[in-house]
């Protein structure tokens, strides 16, 4: 069965005159054109289509609006390349009631890199449109080049403050506004002395990240220093955390359950591995949930979901995980069964234990299902009078399991 075709046309700050022949033809043939008021105003009078602004709120009404007009001949106007942080991605996720024909314009990424003479493949791109500022923190690594798509006037000042507070005050900033249009402009400066506040709401901020002397870099590789986290002692220590995440094997877009999350350190480091990673921290204590939220914000993963609950009873109804970490509570009846049952084939589970009772439980599951069972002992150098000696931490038993089929009942 054939489907109605909807044209999704990208338009730049140069308006109608910057459109290609196919883009103009698609708009001229449409009976209905949907877009923002700024874009609709760029169309010449001879485009006689019924022009409709985006509905508000957009997402709940988008599907019905497209379905209502697709059969009449519908075109949608969007900024630049609609598939680059644009409406095209949202439309592509709708049910297949229509076919999309996307006609892109130059994206803000291409235009910004052309102005700065930056190779596109060397640039990391992040958007602040509908996203919290803290989410850019993991990408702020020295010597990196970033492009930030800004959402509101004053965003460049907020980014400069964040850079300065993070020990990255020497970073070089270039604010590019109205790219491709007659009013295109650029403002350059240094983050720690940035005082420009007059940008167009939809500007691009280019950052060449530079660190102050002696600034400690927080790597995206698992194993952040323990002092990176606020905690009350309920913290999976650095070495154990790195080993746990090695067993959990985070891959882009996957979901982790951090059960009995404590300070949230494992879920936070899981999410820092890739911007598409997701995690749910399940923690019954309110004070610890508050610390998890503070740690997630400070370390650049404000999207961490925090659930007030206990295992196993409050795990039901959560989205199915790709991996599960159990830093405690292993000996509670039903916890391991619930976590293993939730995992799909190919899912990974890592469980830690420090008591004899927990070790016994892990040994039984290891004997039953296999996997890897390790005892990990860490010793740290510390003063012993005028000398230095080794102080051992409690050894930890760690079971790592890859679920390859249904767990036997």
Per-residue 3-state assignment (H helix, E strand, C coil) for 315-380: CCCCCCCCEEEECCCCCCCCHHHHHHHHCCCCCEEEEEECCHHHHHHHHHHHHHHCCEEEEECCEE
Query: How do residues 246-283 score in pLDDT, each as one tens digit?
Result: 999 999 999 999 999 999 999 999 999 999 999 999 99
Give CA–CA dist 29/323, Å, rounded: 50
Q: Specify the pLDDT at position 43.
A: 96
φ/ψ of 106, rounded to 5, equals -60, 135
Q: Is 22 within the bounds of a domain?
A: yes
Task: HSE, CB side, 13 Å, CA atoms: give it for residue 2.
Answer: 5
Q: Which helix (H) or strand (E) holds 155?
A: helix 155-165
Look at residue 409 and tell me whether its pLDDT is greater than 70. no
Q: Specify the pLDDT at position 386.
A: 95
Q: Is 69 within the bounds of a domain?
A: yes
Q: Please tell me whether residues 233 and 146 are part of one structural domain.
A: no
Give CA–CA dist 93/239, Å, rounded: 41
Mean pLDDT of the chain: 93
Q: Please tell me whether residues 327 and 237 are part of one structural domain.
A: yes
Beta pairing partners, 145: 123, 208
Give CA–CA dist 291/293, Å, rounded: 5
Q: Specify the pLDDT at position 152.
A: 85
Q: Which helix (H) or strand (E) holds 8?
A: strand 4-11
Q: Please tell me whether residues 98 and 195 are part of one structural domain.
A: no
Q: Please tell me whether residues 245 and 356 are part of one structural domain.
A: yes
Give CA–CA dist 332/334, Å, rounded: 6
Q: Is 354 within the bounds of a domain?
A: yes
Do strands 32-35 and 50-53 pair parallel, antiparallel, or not at all (unpaired)? parallel
Q: Is 204 within the bounds of a domain?
A: yes
Look at residue 285 and tell me whether its pLDDT is greater than 50. yes
What's the whole-number mean pLDDT along residues 333-344? 94
Q: Please tell me whether residues 269 and 375 are part of one structural domain.
A: yes
3-state secondary structure of 84: coil
Q: Is 255 within the bounds of a domain?
A: yes
Look at residue 2 and tell me whether its pLDDT is greater than 60. no
Domain that holds residue 200: 109-208
Q: Which of 208, 242, 269 is the last residue of a domain?
A: 208
Give CA–CA dist 81/348, Å, rounded: 38
Query: How do residues 355-371 score in pLDDT, each as one tens digit?
Result: 999 999 999 999 999 99
Instruction: Identify whether the C-beta of residue 374 lies closer than 8 Å to the C-beta of residue 236.
Output: no
Of 156, 165, 147, the closest CA to residue 211 belongs to 165
Q: Please tell me whether residues 129 and 14 are part of one structural domain.
A: no
Q: Please tell me whether residues 249 and 397 are part of one structural domain.
A: yes
Look at residue 96 and tell me whether its pLDDT is greater than 70. no
φ/ψ of 175, rounded to 5, equals -100, 120
Q: Is 215 within the bounds of a domain?
A: no
Beta pairing partners, 25: none
Look at residue 212 and tell me whether its pLDDT is greater than 50. yes
Q: Which helix (H) or strand (E) holds 113?
A: helix 108-116
Look at residue 235 and tell me whether its pLDDT is greater than 70. yes
3-state secondary structure of 159: helix
CA 222 to chain CA centroid, nearest Å: 16
Q: Which of 68, 90, 105 is the last residue of a domain?
A: 105
Give CA–CA dist 376/374, Å, rounded: 6
Q: Please tell me whether residues 100 and 142 are part of one structural domain.
A: no
Specify the number of domains making up the chain.
3
Look at residue 305 and tell me whether its pLDDT is greater than 90. yes
The dihedral over CA atoms of 226, 304, 328, 239, expressed in degrees to the nearest 10, equals -30
What's the whole-number mean pLDDT along residues 13-42? 95
What's the whole-number mean pLDDT along residues 154-176? 95
Q: Please tell me whether residues 77 and 153 are part of one structural domain.
A: no
Beta pairing partners, 295: none
Q: Please tell me whether residues 164 and 260 are part of one structural domain.
A: no
3-state secondary structure of 397: strand
Q: What radius of gyration do the chain's Cα atoms show?
A: 26
Q: Please tell me whether residues 231 and 195 are part of one structural domain.
A: no
pTM to 2 decimal places: 0.88
Kindly report the CATH number assigned to the domain that includes residue 30: 3.40.1010.10
Look at residue 304 and tell me whether its pLDDT is greater than 60. yes
Structure tokens at 358: 């927990």
φ/ψ of 278, rounded to 5, equals -125, 150
Q: Please tell me whether residues 76 and 138 are part of one structural domain.
A: no
181: region left, alpha or beta (phi > 0 left; psi from -120 to 50 alpha): beta
Only one residue has tokens 């899981």, namely 270
**Cα–Cα separations (whole angstroms), residue 171 to 142, 208, 214:** 9, 6, 15
- Reported for 14-19, long-range contacts at CB under 8 A and 24+ positions apart, including other chains, are 14/180, 14/181, 14/182, 15/42, 15/181, 16/42, 16/43, 16/44, 18/105, 18/180, 19/105
What's the whole-number mean pLDDT along residues 281-291? 97
Look at residue 135 and tell me whether its pLDDT is greater than 90. yes
Query: How do residues 50-77 score in pLDDT, each as one tens digit?
Result: 999 998 888 888 888 888 898 889 999 9
Of 322, 260, 263, the closest CA to residue 290 belongs to 263
């Amino acid at each position: 069965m054939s489907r109605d075709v909807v044209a999704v046309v990208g338009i730049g700050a140069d308006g109608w005159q910057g459109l290609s022949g196919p883009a103009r033809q698609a708009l001229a043939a449409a009976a209905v054109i949907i877009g923002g008021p700024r874009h609709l105003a760029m169309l010449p009078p001879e485009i006689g289509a019924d022009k409709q602004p985006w509905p508000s709120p957009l997402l709940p009404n988008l599907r019905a609006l497209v379905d209502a007009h697709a059969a009449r001949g519908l075109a949608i106007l969007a900024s630049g390349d609609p598939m680059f942080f644009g409406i095209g991605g949202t439309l592509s996720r709708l049910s297949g009631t229509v076919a999309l024909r996307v006609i892109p314009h130059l994206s803000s990424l291409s235009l910004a890199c052309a102005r700065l003479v930056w190779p596109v493949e060397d640039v990391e791109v992040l958007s602040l449109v509908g996203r919290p500022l803290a989410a850019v923190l993991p990408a702020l690594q020295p010597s990196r080049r970033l492009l930030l798509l800004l959402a509101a006037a004053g965003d460049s000042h907020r980014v400069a403050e964040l850079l300065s507070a993070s020990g990255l005050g020497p970073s070089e900033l270039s604010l590019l506004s109205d790219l491709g249009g007659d009013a295109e402009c650029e403002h350059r400066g240094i983050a720690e002395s940035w005082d420009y506040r007059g940008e167009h709401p939809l500007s691009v901020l280019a950052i060449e990240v530079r660190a102050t002397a002696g600034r400690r870099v927080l790597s995206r590789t698992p194993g952040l220093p323990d002092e990176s986290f606020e905690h009350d002692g309920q913290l999976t220590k650095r070495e154990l955390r790195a080993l746990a995440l090695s067993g959990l094997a985070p891959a882009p877009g996957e979901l982790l359950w951090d059960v009995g999350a404590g300070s949230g350190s494992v879920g936070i480091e899981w999410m820092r591995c890739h911007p598409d990673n997701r995690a749910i921290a399940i923690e019954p204590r309110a004070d610890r949930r508050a610390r998890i939220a503070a740690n997630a914000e400070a370390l650049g993963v404000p999207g961490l979901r925090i659930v007030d609950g206990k295992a196993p009873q409050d795990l039901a109804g959560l989205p199915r995980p790709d991996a599960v970490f159990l830093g405690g509570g292993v000996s509670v009846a039903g916890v391991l069964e619930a976590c293993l049952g939730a995992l799909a084939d190919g899912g990974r589970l890592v469980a830690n234990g420090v008591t004899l009772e927990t070790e016994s439980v892990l040994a039984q599951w290891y004997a039953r299902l296999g996997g890897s069972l390790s005892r990990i002992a860490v010793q740290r150098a510390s003063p012993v009078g005028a000398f230095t000696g080794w102080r051992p931490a409690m050894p930890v038993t760690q079971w790592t399991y890859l679920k390859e089929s249904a767990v036997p009942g």
